[in-house]
Amino acid sequence: MAYIELLIEENTSESGNMQLDARGGCFDALAVARLLRCDAVYYDANGFERAASEDGPYEVCGELTMSDTVQSLVQAGGAARETVAESDLGFLWDFWYPALRSTEVTDKRLATAMLLEVPLVLGRASDGRAFAMRDSCPHRGIPLSYGRFDGQAVECSYHGWRFEACTGRCIEIPSLTSQDKLKVERIFAGHYPCEERDGYFWVFMNSQGTRLPETILPAPQLAVFSEKYRITHLTCDLPSHVDHGIIGLMDPAHGPFVHQSWYWRSRHSIHEKEKKFEPIPYGFRMSPHTPSSNSAPYRMLQKYTGEPVTTTIDFVLPNIRTEEIRSGKLWFSSRATVTPVRRGLCRIDFVAAWNLLLPVWIFRSFAKKFLRQDQETMILQAEGLEHNPRLMLIDDADRPAKWYFGLKTGLLESRRTGEAMVHPMIGPVTLHWRS
Ligand code: FES
Ligand SMILES: [Fe+2]
């Protein structure tokens, strides 16, 4: 019993928080400031970047290294077990991430997912509330997903401990007798805030186990602009660290090479482009603009409505790219998230809604092809990344990728110091590239 009490104590002690802070400590604000000034940024394939100045590609002008707390935390157990994954895999904690599609959870079935290397068991209580628990019994670690769920509580398959699904609180330990004084209600299975939105189970990946930050923003929601619309979801796994997935998503220069097709564009349609960007909280916006004239779908839209087409593209931490296209009363809105599953695997979840006369099946067949092209490219890239090459980011085409790393570091630094977050962009910027 003493052993159990000790674990409970650890779960609520401050030590977990300090470990958490340690993870932010490996990023250095000065290094990032230098990084953003460099014309080329070199970084290691494992997702932790290094910057090099133009005068010598091998001169490292800022080095961001991995924290070495992982192993010691693995040994520590208890609260440390809760915080091991966050200790430094380049993941951003304390954000909402989509764990799985709502359609994967039916009746009293328990579903499993992994986010940021944390195994989760998810379900819907009889009152309709979505829940997410750590898929590990706090007694002896067997996945709770092997247990039974009656609509209220999850019962572990090993010794039958029962946990309230929506709070993680233990409500029964069958082996206890009337002489035992163990306070069952003080034991918690790991659990995370969970909400259903846009057809996904969203989980707030809280770095502190059961203790939540003071304020949690609501889970993201796709913007829609009329009552009736069509909506569709697509998903695709990428065999890489989330950072590679994200910078791949915001990379304009691969379009003519990876996404060649007669209806979209060919490599011969490459031309110089000028795009305006502005900083927004936690991210950046490609200011509303008239989309690329070499893309057939946009030309068709403009012809149909007779009104100008404008597109706004935002990226915000931790992983969200949204795009809104509007022309007169017609609109198209999409969101792509790149979610870290584990260090070498991330997943794109793409949801799109529109009120155009565009059948879902037609859109899906194009979007699938598009995603597949990205996926195939990243499978090939993963082959190269396995050998830890040094890589580079160039201006201007890779500037958004530099901002992404700058935003990440700025956020971690502000969490570490408690100071306001330093944004990598000082104001609006115009970028030029050919694509
Ligand atoms: S391992 Fe779950 S009740 Fe013992
Ligand atoms: Fe792409």
- CB neighbours of residue 230 within 10 Å: 15
From the number of C-beta atoms within 10 Å of its C-beta (0-12, 13-18, 19+), residue 234 rates as middle
Confidence of residue 43 (pLDDT cuts 50, 70, 90): low
Task: Considering every ligand atom shown, identify the ligand nearest to the alpha carbon of residue 350 and give its number.
Answer: 2
pLDDT in the model for residue 435: 82
Confidence of residue 37 (pLDDT cuts 50, 70, 90): low
pLDDT digit string, tens, across residues 213-252: 778 889 999 999 999 999 999 999 999 999 999 999 889 8
Least confident residue range of 81-85, 132-136, 429-433: 81-85
pLDDT digit string, tens, across residues 153-179: 999 999 999 999 999 999 999 999 999
pLDDT average, residue stretch 16-31 = 33
pLDDT digit string, tens, across residues 284-307: 999 877 666 556 667 777 777 888
316, 223 contact by CB (below 8 A): no
Percent of the chain with pLDDT over 90: 60
Q: Across the chain, what does the average pLDDT equal? A: 80
**Structure tokens given for 345:** 């695997």
Confidence of residue 12 (pLDDT cuts 50, 70, 90): very low
Residue 235 alpha carbon to ligand 2 centre in Å: 14
C-alpha to C-alpha distance for 387 and 408, rounded to whole angstroms: 25
pLDDT in the model for residue 409: 95
pLDDT in the model for residue 270: 82
Least confident residue range of 192-206, 229-243, 252-266, 324-338: 252-266
Residue 208 alpha carbon to ligand 1 centre in Å: 22
The answer, yes or no, to whether any atom of ligand 1 lies below 6 A from the CB of 142, is yes
pLDDT in the model for residue 107: 85
C-alpha to C-alpha distance for 334 and 356, rounded to whole angstroms: 13
The answer, yes or no, to whether any atom of ligand 1 lies below 6 A from the CB of 161, is yes
pLDDT average, residue stretch 38-60 = 44
Percent of the chain with pLDDT over 70: 75
Residue 247 alpha carbon to ligand 1 centre in Å: 42
Closest CA to 412 of 92, 95, 118: 92
pLDDT of 28 higher than 50: no
Half-sphere exposure (Cβ direction) of 256: Cα atoms closer than 13 Å: 13
Least confident residue range of 36-40, 222-226, 256-260: 36-40
- Where on the phi/psi map is residue 160: left (φ > 0), alpha (ψ -120 to 50), or beta? left
The answer, yes or no, to whether any atom of ligand 1 lies below 6 A from the CB of 109, is no
pLDDT average, residue stretch 38-51 = 52
C-alpha to C-alpha distance for 327 and 187, rounded to whole angstroms: 55
Least confident residue range of 29-43, 146-160, 175-189, 383-397: 29-43
Its sign, for the CA torsion 382, 384, 390, 391, is: negative
pLDDT average, residue stretch 242-270 = 81
| Predicted TM-score (pTM) above 0.85 | no
Return the best residue to mutate from 140, 146, 188 for the ligand 1 pocket (most ligand atoms within 8 A of CB): 140
pLDDT higher at 207 or 81: 207
Position 291, amino acid:
P
Beta strands across the sheet bearing 283-289: 230-238, 345-354, 330-342, 320-327, 310-316, 283-289, 272-280, 429-434
pLDDT in the model for residue 273: 86
Which residue's alpha carbon is nearest to atom 1 within ligand 1? Answer: 140
pLDDT average, residue stretch 125-137 = 96
**Structure tokens given for 197:** 């939105």
